[in-house]
């Protein structure tokens, strides 16, 4: 009854509520096709809440003041009614009708949220402690902690986790879905406003849960195609000289939740001074050996760059003292050989690099620590990733 | 020895009471007296509340700035985990039934004790042992899983990326605390069935007893599921049997089903006793017969039954099928109705009353306001389309603090003030009481209302740090400031209550004009409560009482017959 009365009104309002809007008192900026509808439902519930909260509070205060027993008085005013069936039925049936209406609009909105359009652009998402990987199979592009998507085209995420539960949440799109290890889950959205939006992990996933952030960049179709094309060949086309800067700006964010650039050791060892330590061979492993043991003539790491390469692609082989074997071992499938080369070059030249480019003249002898590196390092992997 | 004080017409100080009946630490630790067990539970629960409160202040302080202030990630994760675990398992679940309920329930029934006094003492000692296991969890490596122990994180014991070493001690502690809760519930069910006095039919029971009865059903039926779940979790972590761990073929979402099958009813284990207290507080301090007795009583039972069928609403984004989510959403809304009925009946009870603005009544009125917000915001979360956005954000944090802290614990503190004269035999200072209430009420709302906006704007839960440019900080500053006001409020409350024990005026048998049986024995009650089972009439008919100024309390009107002489047809 109530459904049939409310439905036409609700549906016509919902149809109109698909405009992108700015931040309101309750909700953040709305940038997806479903956001307007969800905000409408939220405000619909809010109105009911305001009315009831006002009524309850007003009656409460009114009775409390009107029937106040003054200090020193001890009256027993046991006169009013003690029950009333009509009243009980009224305040049972009206809320019942309202919650049925709320349930109904919530369900309708939810079904829209769950059923992705058939022509969606698909992205594979991997959640891992504590970073996101976004794979665009159509372009052969793998991104980390940054996701570029086309404007006004439905995007479907097929999501999995390699370790514990995670949850992908983009407030501006009003979408959220858990990533469960051992199965895929999906989520879809259609971004209707170009811009950059924060993506959070909202299922507690351990130590650095609150650092498991990413940015969604919504680009107009032509710009999106152009960017994907650029990403797909950027490391192939780059001159060798630009590779380390490319690694620092485009690859390092995959390492940043565990490996710092400023000397602080967290889950993994810092990258600062790494190359010096490797060359000296004084790195000690959990089995008591040192890097020197592997480095002499004919040794496994006679060429020290091989140690860095091996540590990226097969990180469990030698574990540094005081650290645990926790680095994901799937980078071989995520990195092309030239990207590994870029990372090795980045680590070798870390003290001469900033996000903008080389510091000083190329190829000069190692200069002492450059302040510019430190400041850019702390800005680089922070909360706001640089846009692509 | 027994100076029975069933006749408030001739009040006098009873020298022998439960506090001085026997002496020495031993006589307390191994007492079978429900009143002493209740007092010990009260002290234990309030101590745990203090610890969890300090942790809450640390959490709030950390979040003052986006990068965090006083803790690193792992310390923060431990702080919120312990805050949640202690508050749920050690404080809120036992607070009203085991502490206040233990003290009041048998006296309300005119009984000498609960049906199984030894089981009651065992329940208390199991609580102590459970609490020690929680301490053990800290000593053996810390606990950072969140109070929900979600798999597979909680079964992942790898260093750095897995959970910390205290999981097995902590779940063992929660397992043991579950038995403490089951024993209390069983005891109360049997006591209410078997030990009601002549004349007290089911529908003449004070509503407090109806609420405690509904709670006890949940404790007995739901808690074993938690026990089994936590036992499986411990075995999974220790031996890798492959029930929850996906790398061994297990299903981590299955854990969530098991966990919430208990933990949703557990929400009502927390709030039903709070509602039960409020029903009695409103009636007694308004000096008005409760409105809609049967509706309030039945709504408690309805809430208890519905609460078993709604656990899936904690998992709308966890990967359940859309159909299952729709069904759980629909059933969830059914719980809203009995809760709303209670609120309306409480308001109707105040109509034409004589409403005292004393501390217990202020807490009761504060409860109605806070619970209304807590209940109404449940609508946003039961609604599928909006829950997807709000799930696992601070909106949820605010919602459940409005219900569990602002409602369940506020009711507990209201009840503590209501029965404080009965428990200690002393009156606290009413003006300090009102000040304490004002600080708690304002502090609570400032702390948690700002979290609704924080959550709907997108701030996720369990974050040690947050982005600078998301606009979250201003809400966090409000919330943290509120938490400090709240803390001051609790310190003021603790101060004047402690002072009253040593310097408070002696309490009369019936300071508020209550009609249920606990107001008919002296304050504090004698060891045996009543020498013979009293008979009862309508426990909400206050017209038989009058104020006696020499006594500074209420006594039976001289011109009205005592219930013993009432005809039994008065129901």
Determine the distance in angstroms separating the CA of A94 from the nearest CA of chain B, rounded to an integer.
10
**A90 and A12 in one domain?**
yes
**A221 and A246 in one domain?**
no
Cα separation of A269 and A67, whole Å? 69
Residues B309-327 as b or e (16 or more Cβ within 10 Å = b): ebbbbbbbbbbbeeeebbe
pLDDT mean over B242-257: 93
Q: Please, which residues bridge with residue A200 across strands?
A: A169, A213
> Shortest CB distance from B352 goes to which of A80, A110, A114?
A80
Please indicate whether, in this complex, the C-beta atoms of B340 and A95 are within 8 angstroms of each other.
yes
* % pLDDT > 90, chain B: 79
Helix (H, G, I), strand (E, B) or coil at A107: helix
Cα separation of A170 and A215, whole Å? 9
Positive or negative torsion for Cα A322, A327, A332, A338: negative
Interface of A with B in 21-40 (CB under 8 A): 23, 25-28, 37-38
Determine the distance in angstroms separating the CA of B448 from the nearest CA of chain A, rounded to an integer.
15
Chain segment B106-161, per-residue pLDDT in tens: 999 999 999 999 999 999 999 999 999 998 998 888 999 999 999 999 999 888 88
Each residue's pLDDT tens digit in chain A (388 positions)? 555 555 555 555 555 555 677 888 999 999 999 999 999 999 999 999 999 999 999 999 999 999 999 887 887 766 778 888 999 999 999 999 999 999 999 999 998 888 888 889 999 999 999 899 999 999 888 888 999 999 999 999 999 999 999 999 999 999 999 999 999 999 999 999 999 999 999 999 999 999 999 999 999 999 999 999 988 887 777 777 888 888 888 788 878 878 888 888 878 888 888 888 888 888 888 888 888 888 877 788 888 888 888 888 888 888 888 888 888 888 887 788 888 888 888 888 887 877 777 776 554 433 333 333 333 333 333 333 333 3
Contacts of A110 in chain B (CB under 8 A): 322, 325-326, 329, 384-385, 388
Would the pLDDT of B10 be above 70? no
Q: Which residue of A has its CA nearest to B554?
A: A74
Tokens describing residue B466 = 């947050």
**A187 and A91 in one domain?**
no
Please indicate whether, in this complex, the C-beta atoms of B292 and A88 are within 8 angstroms of each other.
yes
Interface of A with B in 253-272 (CB under 8 A): 267
Cα separation of A106 and A222, whole Å? 36
Task: Look at residue A202 in the predicted model and tell me its pLDDT.
Answer: 96
Q: Please, which residues bridge with residue A157 across strands?
A: A123, A187
**A335 and A253 in one domain?**
yes
Is residue A385 domain-resident? no
Determine the distance in angstroms separating the CA of B487 from the nearest CA of chain A, rounded to an integer.
25
pLDDT mean over B550-569: 73
Task: Look at residue A3 in the predicted model and tell me its pLDDT.
Answer: 53
Determine the distance in angstroms separating the CA of B263 from the nearest CA of chain A, rounded to an integer.
18
Tokens describing residue A357 = 């480019």
Contact criterion met (CB below 8 Å) for A130 and A212: yes
pLDDT mean over B249-266: 93
Please indicate whether, in this complex, the C-beta atoms of B379 and A99 are within 8 angstroms of each other.
yes
Cα separation of B180 and B343, whole Å? 31
Is residue A189 domain-resident? yes
**A201 and A100 in one domain?**
no
Chain segment B44-87, per-residue pLDDT in tens: 999 999 999 999 999 999 999 999 999 999 999 999 999 999 99
Question: How many C-beta atoms lie closer than 10 Å to residue A266's C-beta?
Answer: 17
Task: Look at residue A81 in the predicted model and tell me its pLDDT.
Answer: 84
Q: End of a domain among A233, A254, A283?
A: A233
Q: Which residue of B has its CA nearest to A178?
A: B318
Domain containing A154 equals 121-233
Tokens describing residue B423 = 């428990």
> Shortest CB distance from B317 goes to which of A96, A106, A176?
A176
Please indicate whether, in this complex, the C-beta atoms of B73 and A41 are within 8 angstroms of each other.
no
Cα separation of B116 and A205, whole Å? 44
**If pLDDT is split at 50, 70 and 90, which confidence band does B245 have?**
very high
Q: Which residue of B has its CA nearest to A129?
A: B161
Please indicate whether, in this complex, the C-beta atoms of B319 and A80 are within 8 angstroms of each other.
no
CATH number at residue A229: 2.60.40.420
Average pLDDT, chain B: 91
> Shortest CB distance from B393 goes to which of A182, A202, A207?
A202
Task: Look at residue B3 in the predicted model and tell me its pLDDT.
Answer: 42
**A370 and A249 in one domain?**
yes
Contacts of B205 (CB under 8 A, 6+ apart): B108, B192, B196, B297, B539
Contacts of B77 in chain A (CB under 8 A): 204, 206-207, 209
Is residue A380 domain-resident? no
Please indicate whether, in this complex, the C-beta atoms of B384 and A164 are within 8 angstroms of each other.
no
ipTM of the complex: 0.91
β-strands A185-190, A195-201 pairing:
unpaired
* % pLDDT > 70, chain B: 96
Question: Mutate which of A10, A32, A60, A326 to disrupt the B interface (most B C-beta within 10 Å)?
Answer: A60
Is residue A382 domain-resident? no
Contact criterion met (CB below 8 Å) for B547 and B556: no
Task: Look at residue B133 in the predicted model and tell me its pLDDT.
Answer: 94
Question: What total of structural domains would you count in chain A?
Answer: 3
Task: Look at residue A23 in the predicted model and tell me its pLDDT.
Answer: 86
**If pLDDT is split at 50, 70 and 90, which confidence band does B567 have?**
very low
pLDDT mean over B225-246: 94
Task: Look at residue B9 in the predicted model and tell me its pLDDT.
Answer: 45
Task: Look at residue B490 in the predicted model and tell me its pLDDT.
Answer: 97
Task: Look at residue B443 in the predicted model and tell me its pLDDT.
Answer: 97
Alpha carbon of B325 to those of A106, B266, B334: distances in Å?
11, 21, 15
Question: Mutate which of B59, B356, B460 to disrupt the A interface (most A C-beta within 10 Å)?
Answer: B460
Helix (H, G, I), strand (E, B) or coil at A219: strand
Q: B568 versus A96: which is more confidently predicted? A: A96
Q: Which residue of B has its CA nearest to A79?
A: B352
Please indicate whether, in this complex, the C-beta atoms of A206 and B161 are within 8 angstroms of each other.
yes
Is residue A161 domain-resident? yes
Please indicate whether, in this complex, the C-beta atoms of B73 and A99 are within 8 angstroms of each other.
no
Interface of A with B in 346-365 (CB under 8 A): none
Please indicate whether, in this complex, the C-beta atoms of A69 and B287 are within 8 angstroms of each other.
yes
**A353 and A294 in one domain?**
yes
Task: Look at residue B7 in the predicted model and tell me its pLDDT.
Answer: 47
Decide: pTM greater than 0.90.
no
Please indicate whether, in this complex, the C-beta atoms of B286 and A67 are within 8 angstroms of each other.
yes
* Phi, psi of B496, deg, nearest 5: -75, -30
Please indicate whether, in this complex, the C-beta atoms of B392 and A88 are within 8 angstroms of each other.
no
Please indicate whether, in this complex, the C-beta atoms of A76 and B465 are within 8 angstroms of each other.
no
Q: End of a domain among A233, A266, A289?
A: A233
Please indicate whether, in this complex, the C-beta atoms of B388 and A175 are within 8 angstroms of each other.
yes
> Shortest CB distance from A91 goes to which of B340, B354, B368?
B340
Question: Mutate which of A61, A161, A178, A315 to disrupt the B interface (most B C-beta within 10 Å)?
Answer: A178
Chain segment B313-338, per-residue pLDDT in tens: 999 999 888 999 999 999 999 989 99
> Shortest CB distance from B329 goes to which of A38, A53, A106?
A106
Contact of A60 with chain B, judged by CB distance below 8 Å, is answered with yes
**A347 and A326 in one domain?**
yes
**A210 and A179 in one domain?**
yes
Q: End of a domain among A76, A93, A114?
A: A114
Is residue A386 domain-resident? no
Is residue A263 domain-resident? yes
Helix (H) or strand (E) holding A59, with range, is helix A35-66
Determine the distance in angstroms separating the CA of A171 from the nearest CA of chain B, rounded to an integer.
5
**A268 and A152 in one domain?**
no
Is residue A324 domain-resident? yes
Number of CB pairs < 8 Å for A and B?
304
Please indicate whether, in this complex, the C-beta atoms of B354 and A207 are within 8 angstroms of each other.
no
Question: Mutate which of A167, A176, A264 to disrupt the B interface (most B C-beta within 10 Å)?
Answer: A176
Please indicate whether, in this complex, the C-beta atoms of A171 and B453 are within 8 angstroms of each other.
no
Would the pLDDT of B357 be above 90? yes
Question: Mutate which of A2, A18, A24, A77 to disrupt the B interface (most B C-beta within 10 Å)?
Answer: A77
Question: Mutate which of A23, A83, A195 to disrupt the B interface (most B C-beta within 10 Å)?
Answer: A83
Contact of A210 with chain B, judged by CB distance below 8 Å, is answered with yes
Among A270-274, B483-487, B533-537, top mean pLDDT goes to B483-487
Cα separation of B27 and A173, whole Å? 63
Question: How many C-beta atoms lie closer than 10 Å to residue A236's C-beta?
Answer: 9
**A275 and A221 in one domain?**
no
Determine the distance in angstroms separating the CA of A221 from the nearest CA of chain B, rounded to an integer.
27
Provide the angle, in degrees to the nearest 10, between the axes of the packed helices A85-114 and B359-382.
40
Please indicate whether, in this complex, the C-beta atoms of A77 and B153 are within 8 angstroms of each other.
no
Chain segment B499-529, per-residue pLDDT in tens: 999 989 999 999 999 999 999 888 899 998 8
**A145 and A210 in one domain?**
yes
Please indicate whether, in this complex, the C-beta atoms of B246 and A96 are within 8 angstroms of each other.
no
CATH number at residue A266: 1.10.760.10
Please indicate whether, in this complex, the C-beta atoms of B319 and A99 are within 8 angstroms of each other.
no
Task: Look at residue B256 in the predicted model and tell me its pLDDT.
Answer: 95
Contact of A11 with chain B, judged by CB distance below 8 Å, is answered with no
Cα separation of A200 and B160, whole Å? 21
Determine the distance in angstroms separating the CA of B191 from the nearest CA of chain A, rounded to an integer.
28
Please indicate whether, in this complex, the C-beta atoms of B73 and A210 are within 8 angstroms of each other.
yes
């Amino acid at each position: 009854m109530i459904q049939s009365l409310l439905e036409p009104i609700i549906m016509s309002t919902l149809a109109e509520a698909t405009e992108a809007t700015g931040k309101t008192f309750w909700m953040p900026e709305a940038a997806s096709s479903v956001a307007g509808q969800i905000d409408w439902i939220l405000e619909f519930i809010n109105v009911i809440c305001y009315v009831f909260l006002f009524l309850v509070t007003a009656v409460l205060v009114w009775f409390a003041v009107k029937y106040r027993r003054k200090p020193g008085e001890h009256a027993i005013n046991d006169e009013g009614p003690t029950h009333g069936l009509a009243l009980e039925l009224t305040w049972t049936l009206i809320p019942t009708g309202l919650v049925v209406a709320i349930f109904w609009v919530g369900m309708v909105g939810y079904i829209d949220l769950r059923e992705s359009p058939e022509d969606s652009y698909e992205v594979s998402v991997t959640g891992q402690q504590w970073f996101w990987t976004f794979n665009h199979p159509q372009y052969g592009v793998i991104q980390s902690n940054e996701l570029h998507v086309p404007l006004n085209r439905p995007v479907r995420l097929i999501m999995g986790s390699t370790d514990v539960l995670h949850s992908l949440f983009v407030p501006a799109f009003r979408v959220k879905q858990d990533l469960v290890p051992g199965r895929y889950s999906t989520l879809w959205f259609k971004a209707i406003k170009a811009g950059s939006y924060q993506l959070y992990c909202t299922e507690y996933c351990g130590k650095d849960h609150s650092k498991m952030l990413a940015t969604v960049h919504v680009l107009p179709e032509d710009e999106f195609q152009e960017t994907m094309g650029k990403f797909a060949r950027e490391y192939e086309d780059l001159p060798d000289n630009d590779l380390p800067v490319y690694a620092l700006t485009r690859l390092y964010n995959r390492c940043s939740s565990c490996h710092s650039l400023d000397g602080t050791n967290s889950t993994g060892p810092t990258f600062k001074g790494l190359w010096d330590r490797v060359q000296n061979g004084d790195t000690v492993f959990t089995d008591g050996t040192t890097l020197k043991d592997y480095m002499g003539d004919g040794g496994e790491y006679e060429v020290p760059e091989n140690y860095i390469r091996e540590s990226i692609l097969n990180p469990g082989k030698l574990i540094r003292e005081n650290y645990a074997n926790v680095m994901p071992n799937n980078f071989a499938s995520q990195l092309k050989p030239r990207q590994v080369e870029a990372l090795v070059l980045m680590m070798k030249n870390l003290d001469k690099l900033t996000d903008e480019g080389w510091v000083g003249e190329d190829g000069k002898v190692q200069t002492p620590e450059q302040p510019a590196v430190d400041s850019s390092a702390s800005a680089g992997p922070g909360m706001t990733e640089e846009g692509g | 020895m027994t100076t029975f004080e069933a006749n408030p017409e001739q009040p006098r100080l009873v020298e022998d009471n439960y506090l001085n009946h026997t002496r020495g630490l031993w006589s307390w630790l191994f007492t079978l007296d429900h009143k002493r067990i209740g007092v010990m539970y009260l002290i234990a629960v309030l101590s745990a509340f203090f610890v969890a409160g300090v942790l809450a202040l640390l959490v709030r302080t950390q979040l003052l700035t986006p990068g965090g202030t006083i803790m690193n990630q792992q310390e923060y994760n431990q702080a919120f985990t312990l805050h949640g675990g202690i508050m749920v398992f050690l404080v809120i679940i036992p607070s009203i039934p085991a502490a206040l309920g233990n003290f009041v329930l048998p006296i309300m029934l005119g009984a000498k004790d609960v049906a199984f006094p030894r089981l009651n003492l065992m329940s208390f000692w199991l609580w102590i042992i459970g609490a020690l296991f929680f301490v053990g969890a800290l000593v053996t490596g810390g606990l950072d899983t969140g109070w929900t122990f979600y798999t597979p994180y909680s079964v992942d014991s790898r260093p750095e990326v897995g959970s910390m070493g205290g999981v097995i001690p902590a779940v063992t502690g929660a397992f043991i605390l579950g038995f403490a809760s089951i024993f209390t519930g069983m005891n109360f069910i049997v006591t209410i069935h078997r030990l009601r006095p002549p004349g007290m039919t089911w529908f003449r029971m004070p509503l407090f007893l109806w609420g405690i009865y509904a709670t006890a059903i949940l404790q007995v039926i739901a808690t074993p599921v938690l026990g089994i779940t936590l036992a499986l979790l411990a075995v999974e972590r220790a031996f890798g049997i492959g029930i929850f761990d996906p790398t061994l073929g297990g299903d981590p979402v299955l854990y969530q089903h098991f966990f919430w099958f208990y933990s949703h009813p557990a929400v009502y284990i927390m709030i039903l006793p709070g509602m039960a207290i409020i029903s009695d507080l409103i009636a007694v301090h308004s000096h008005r017969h409760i409105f809609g007795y049967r509706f309030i009583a039945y709504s408690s039972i309805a809430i208890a039954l519905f609460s078993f069928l709604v656990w899936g609403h904690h998992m709308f984004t966890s990967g359940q099928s859309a159909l299952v989510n729709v069904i759980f959403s629909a059933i969830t809304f059914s719980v809203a109705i009995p809760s709303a009925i209670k609120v309306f009946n409480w308001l109707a009870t105040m109509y034409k009353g004589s409403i005292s603005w004393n501390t217990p009544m202020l807490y009761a009125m504060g409860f109605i306001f806070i619970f209304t917000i807590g209940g109404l915001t449940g609508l946003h979360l039961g609604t599928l389309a909006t829950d997807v956005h709000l799930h696992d954000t601070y909106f949820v944090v605010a919602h459940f603090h409005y219900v569990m802290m602002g409602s369940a614990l506020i009711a507990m503190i209201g009840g503590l003030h209501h029965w404080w004269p009965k428990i200690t035999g002393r009156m606290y200072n009413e003006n300090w009481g009102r000040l304490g209430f004002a600080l708690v009420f304002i502090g609570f709302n400032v702390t948690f209302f700002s979290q609704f906006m924080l959550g709907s704007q997108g701030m996720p839960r369990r974050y040690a740090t947050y982005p600078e440019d998301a606009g979250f900080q201003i809400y966090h500053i409000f919330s943290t400031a509120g938490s400090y006001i709240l803390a001051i409020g609790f310190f003021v409350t603790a101060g004047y209550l402690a002072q009253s024990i040593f310097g408070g005026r002696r309490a009369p048998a019936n300071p508020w004009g209550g009609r249920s049986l606990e107001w008919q024995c002296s304050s504090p009650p004698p060891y045996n409560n009543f020498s013979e089972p009293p008979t009862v009439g309508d426990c909400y008919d206050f017209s038989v009482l009058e104020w006696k100024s020499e006594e500074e309390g209420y006594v039976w009107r001289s011109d009205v017959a005592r219930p013993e002489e009432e005809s039994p047809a008065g129901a």
